[in-house]
Homo-oligomer: A and B are copies of this chain.
Amino acid sequence: MPLEQVSQNASFGGQLTKYKTTSQSLGGLETQFNVFLPAEAAKGPVPVLYYLAGLTCTEDTGAQKGGFLRDAAAEGIALVFPDTSPRGAGVEGEDKDWDFGTGAGFYINSTADKYSKHYNMYDFVVRELPSLLSELPINTARASIMGHSMGGHGALTLYLRTLGDKKYASASAFAPISNPVKAPWGEKAFGGYLAGGVEEGKEYDATELIKKAKGDPKILIDVGTGDQFYQQKQLLPENFIEAAKTAGFSESQVQVNLHDKYDHSYWFISTFGPAHVKFHANILKSEPKL
């Protein structure tokens, strides 16, 4: 489907554009996403960094509150912000809870009958979105991915599931749900979206995936220990660290930083955002073509 421009704003020498399109992955529903193109894109295709937002968020949240555009502009890379779920699927109960259904797509492909037509944010982000971007000056073969909370889970799992295909050069996450099969949010999501429930959810669990990962991963994670969801054991970064260590990965391959006082908010994200953009830009600009 063609892209329809919803709005465009000049920013940091480039521009942020909101597009809408009808998505096949999402069962024919309309979805919106934001794209920041730096000034360099006027001269030719630029690398791209995807940002996946968390529960209750939209394609606007990271763009408005993350502070990433400034660094992306300085590095000459594009940013792409998809939505967090399909919208308007009309599945009974999808708007009942803030942590399931609308705004909570979990970046998986649903296999449960009720959700499988629409709740396929995995396919949307990994397959459909890059093809939609092909009409823009973006080199989708030079891509990295980051995200927050549920979107941090998304960034890590999309990266690890496609490590062999080198879909993404690197992944980073702010306060990711790192071991969802052992966390209430993940149990609820996988229990609802997946026919095989939490057991099937292991295919979408960063801690399970890092155990089997092959190659040379490049992962950066920041978590604040003042984060209420960290304290409630929704995030479980220690499980991910332990699994990565056991699998033999070094700290230069999987770097996880814990920070005193910082919480789950965009005040935390925007503080560490510059380092995340730099992390990805260094890799995107130095690696040989994927």
Contacts and interface: CB of A to CB of B under 8 A. Distances in A.
A11 B66 CA distance: 12
A11 B271 contact: yes
Nearest to A36: B267
A10 interface: yes
Nearest to A265: B9
A16 interface: yes
Contacts of A268: 9-11
Contacts of A12: 270-271
Q: How large is the interface on A (under 10, 10 to 19, 20 to 34, 35 or more residues)?
A: 20 to 34
A83 interface: no
A64 to B, nearest CB: 6
Interface string A248-276: 00000000000001110111101100100
Taking the full assembly, how many copies of this chain does it contain?
2
A11 B267 contact: yes
B64 A10 contact: no
Main secondary structure of the interface of A (DSSP, over half): mixed
A70 interface: yes
A9 B270 contact: no
A181 B15 CA distance: 34
A214 interface: no
Nearest to A16: B267
A224 interface: yes
Contact of A70 (B64, B67, B262): B67
B64 A9 contact: no
Given A64-B64, A65-B64, A65-B65, A263 B10 contact: yes
Given A10-B224, A11-B271, A271-B12, A266 B70 contact: no
A168 to B, nearest CB: 26
Given A16-B267, A70-B270, A267-B16, A261 B10 contact: yes
Contacts of A226: 10
A178 to B, nearest CB: 21
A274 B12 CA distance: 11
A267 B9 contact: yes
A169 interface: no
A69 interface: yes
Interface in A64-92: 64-65, 67, 69-70
30 contacts: A9-B263, A9-B265, A9-B267, A9-B268, A10-B226, A10-B261, A10-B262, A10-B263, A10-B267, A10-B268, A10-B271, A11-B267, A11-B268, A11-B270, A11-B271, A12-B270, A12-B271, A13-B271, A15-B261, A16-B267, A64-B64, A64-B65, A64-B266, A65-B65, A67-B67, A67-B70, A67-B270, A69-B270, A70-B270, A70-B274
